[in-house]
């Protein structure tokens, strides 16, 4: 099972957790959870006017062995207006490259932070992989 929580944070409401969303999925091969602005494709949707987040920004995919990976999907622009960092519990933040993929640790947790390059806003996506 992969559990996700998402909070949108702007300078005006830093520290607030109102509007937190949650989603989960069993660890079955081919299972997918997505984060982005498009409510039709994404279980966790950001505000429509937060254009630094793509229609489908992050995709969590369960592999054939029950492990999960996350990919920052490439959008229509060559240079994204955001940056993504992966933080594992007890670790230091690591950049997730545009179009890059990272494996999530089984029985692990952490956070992905989508940071707006032009404004003090972020989307914080916490994860817990029960394994």
**Beta strands 32-36 and 2-10, pairing class:** unpaired
Q: What residue segments make up the domains of the chain, in order of their start?
A: 2-13+23-129
What predicted TM-score, i.e. pTM, was given to this entire model? 0.92
| CATH of the domain spanning 2-13+23-129, picked from 3.30.360.10, 3.40.50.2020, 2.60.200.20, 3.40.50.300 | 2.60.200.20
What length is written for the chain?
131
Torsion of CA 89, 26, 38, 76, to 10 degrees: 70
In the numeric block, which tokens belong to residue 100? Answer: 């890059």
Helix then strand count (H, E) for the chain reads 0, 11
Q: What is the pLDDT along the chain (131 residues), one digit of tens a residue?
A: 999 999 998 876 655 555 689 999 999 999 999 999 999 999 999 999 999 999 999 999 999 999 999 999 998 888 999 999 999 988 899 999 999 999 999 899 999 999 999 999 999 999 999 86
């Amino acid at each position: 099972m992969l559990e996700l929580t998402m909070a949108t944070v702007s300078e005006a409401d830093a520290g607030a957790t109102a509007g937190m969303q949650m989603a989960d999925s069993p660890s079955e091969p081919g299972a997918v959870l997505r984060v982005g602005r498009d409510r039709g494709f994404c279980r966790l949707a950001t505000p429509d006017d937060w254009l630094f987040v793509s229609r489908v920004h992050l995709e969590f995919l369960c592999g054939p062995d029950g492990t999960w990976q996350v990919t920052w999907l490439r959008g229509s622009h060559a240079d994204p207006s955001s940056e993504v960092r992966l933080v594992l519990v007890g670790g230091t933040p690591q950049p997730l490259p545009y179009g890059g993929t990272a494996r999530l640790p089984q029985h692990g947790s952490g956070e992905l932070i989508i940071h707006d390059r032009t404004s003090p806003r972020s989307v914080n996506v916490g994860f817990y992989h029960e394994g």
